[in-house]
Structure 1
């Protein structure tokens, strides 16, 4: 056991140093080390030229009059600055007019990204100067095409018209563990990314959320994944660019091609790197919300609470650090958190189980019930006002080091698990 005295964990745009007491025995859980790409731009061009189950991008673009490129919103650190311009230039060289190309921000039900934030998200002024960059608005029913319902679970399928009606449709994103859909990226950028509110609220209803197979790193039998696959197959021809990044947020892997096949290829690359086997459970677990941009809100912080639950000993203490620089999140999420505090976990859950459509953002409060069922949850944050801290429904702490030391003493167990990158790493308990 390496004698750690301090460990840096992701926090805001930097790191937070966790000091450990003398008797602590720390297990630091990270992704496996990924080799850096010598030429990131070259890797992107190679992916365009050698796609999976599809012709090269230059060939795909020939004869098309329009294209819609989906990008994730500001909550995902996708390296858009590396691939958007070469993707668009390839389309234009093949004959698609630049006024026929739209970059559509797949916000789901998140707020739009405008102004300076949009510029940061896109990462390349050339893109903003040459093509339309627009936000998806899930609540605008008139912006969506009604494609009926899925056959298996009768999910209403409403997808943004700009994507449905484009001649060439490409989703781009980051492949990382997702605490409900198994893995992010690919089909998830389409639905819920540019889906209407009824589609999204169905995905987040209790019948999906409480399904034991709707968990991180699992696609087999995952109801969310299966619905997403049915939706993209209903839409027809869609392609995807899938990226994988390391702890430094550098691009280390990229695939391009048919949306399902190229996404699965990226998952195959990343799954053993991200899903880390741990031979024991811990009574003290310290994690993060992965730093900026994921820890901008308490809403996103819940993901970091759910991901390490497989290694948290029942009755143990989960300590999470998140800047929450933008506060709680949406008004709807605040309302759900207030109801959780007023009703308590059991009565709150009972209000959800009969609903076909979840209320906007209350699903994240439902996910918070999972760590609360297992143990004690503590939050260290530099954001949130007094009322916001009250409605987190967890214990807000002012001294991270003291909380770790106190947990070790309370449980009379020096073993501590520390996950510096939060929900980007999935620890899995497998006894040796």
Structure 2
């Protein structure tokens, strides 16, 4: 007898059937706001640690009548609600307009970090239609465009701070984003809209260095002695932030909280709420864990978050099955990422980590995500890690580490861009793994994928 499980798979929902004996680990239920539209507007006026946004804007206009405003938004890798009744973008724009900032002096600035710029189609899918009909300018940050960056000096830790010039030149600086777990920075949101969202590529070198990523404090749900968090806060302080609007979401992507105001105080309040319902306690370690990459896993680069979130549930040397909707135009990631990933696959995760810590190694952007994969694959051997994304072809699977999930499908069904073969892949892996481990093998399914963090024992 099997039980049915439904989970988000990129933009879709997928239903699979798993044995009754499989433990389903999931986050506690978090209730959505009863009236998000009203509560978003109230949050802008009744802020945490600062005056309301309307008061801040009027003060700026009083001292500089032609003041400009920038609203920083996340890219398509984060399910931030920027449209609909839960949308946070239009209420901010509407308030700016009502306070006397005209549309031509408002800039919506996408903060993709080192990710690629968004296409017009992606922007139109993400954003409220009223943003376009109002003629609000929209630009995307480019971390590699040195002409669009301004040097602000160094952080106390030594990072060269290069930040987007359009942001710095704006008089009213507003950050928006989603607070969710982050495998090295503890939580997303807040300061991350600036660092790494709006920084130059060179500024990422220390922020994403091998040493920072290996620090004990660089982990999910932790801000204490977390060097990435501390460095990001320093950069954001240097760049300047007037106001943030951050939200938390539940597993249905409904808004559970709106936190507006001070860069640090509002962000901290969001993390305290989030922590209550994303941490999963498990009394046992499992021999086999099945997980998925959720919304964030648009490519292999992003999908590491699902694997790392599962480590707390999986015994060392166990089997891990990860399914991911890698729907991005680059289903693996950048060419640099692919090259580093394939290098790690060839020499092994242990040797790759030794290599990037070598004094002879020159920092390469994107190495941080390959380091994260290496950490996972030192816990889960590559010959027990199965990765399946319907969007990848055979040549792309040859680049990435682990077992190609298509091996568990008939030849005619392999490398087909269809979700209908996910069940067969999972069934095939479970059959192989239980044949090795026996029928008493303990199996878990992580219903929330990268969003629910299994506490490490």
Answer yes or no: same fold by TM over 0.5. yes
* Aligned ranges 1:242-253 → 2 under 5 Å: 242-253=246-257
- Aligned partner of 2:307 in structure 1 is 305
* Aligned ranges 1:322-337 → 2 under 5 Å: 322-326=324-328, 327-337=331-341
Structure 1: how far apart are the matches of 2:132 and 2:231? 33
In the alignment, structure 1 residue 363 sits paired with structure 2 residue 368: yes
Given that 1:290 and 1:420 are in contact with CA atoms closer than 8 Å, whether structure 2 keeps it comes out as no
- Aligned partner of 1:341 in structure 2 is 345
Relative to structure 1, is the Cα distance of residues 4 and 337 closer, same or farther in structure 2, using a 3 angstrom cutoff? Answer: same
Structure 1: how far apart are the matches of 2:117 and 2:387? 27
Q: Which of 103, 115, 119 is equivalent to 2:120? A: 115
The structure whose RCO (Cα within 8 Å, separation 6+) is larger is 1
How many residue pairs match? The answer is 423
- Deviation of 1:228 after TM superposition, in Å, equals 1.1
Moved more, 270-279 or 174-183: 270-279
Structure 2: how far apart are the matches of 1:120 and 1:407? 41
In the alignment, structure 1 residue 394 sits paired with structure 2 residue 398: no
In the alignment, structure 1 residue 54 sits paired with structure 2 residue 50: yes
Structure 2: how far apart are the matches of 1:357 and 1:55? 45
In the alignment, structure 1 residue 415 sits paired with structure 2 residue 442: yes
Relative to structure 1, is the Cα distance of residues 29 and 4 closer, same or farther in structure 2, using a 3 angstrom cutoff? Answer: farther
SS for the counterpart of 1:110 is: coil
Given that 1:201 and 1:357 are in contact with CA atoms closer than 8 Å, whether structure 2 keeps it comes out as no
SS for the counterpart of 1:163 is: helix
TM-score norm. by structure 1 comes to 0.94
SS for the counterpart of 1:295 is: coil
Structure 1: how far apart are the matches of 2:352 and 2:287? 27
Structure 2: how far apart are the matches of 1:346 and 1:414? 28
Structure 2: how far apart are the matches of 1:30 and 1:346? 31
- Deviation of 1:121 after TM superposition, in Å, equals 1.9
- Aligned partner of 2:74 in structure 1 is 72
Structure 1 vs Structure 2 CA RMSD: 1.7
The gaps in structure 2 that reach 5 residues or longer are 62-66, 407-424
- Deviation of 1:128 after TM superposition, in Å, equals 5.8
Given that 1:58 and 1:90 are in contact with CA atoms closer than 8 Å, whether structure 2 keeps it comes out as yes
- Aligned partner of 2:417 in structure 1 is none
Given that 1:380 and 1:400 are in contact with CA atoms closer than 8 Å, whether structure 2 keeps it comes out as no
TM-score norm. by structure 2 comes to 0.89
In the alignment, structure 1 residue 30 sits paired with structure 2 residue 26: yes
Structure 2: how far apart are the matches of 1:9 and 1:415? 21
Moved more, 46-55 or 123-132: 123-132
* Aligned ranges 1:21-420 → 2 under 5 Å: 21=19, 25-62=21-58, 63-64=60-61, 65-81=67-83, 82-127=87-132, 129-151=134-156, 153-291=157-295, 294-326=296-328, 327-354=331-358, 358-375=363-380, 376-398=384-406, 399-412=425-438, 413-420=440-447
- Deviation of 1:380 after TM superposition, in Å, equals 1.8
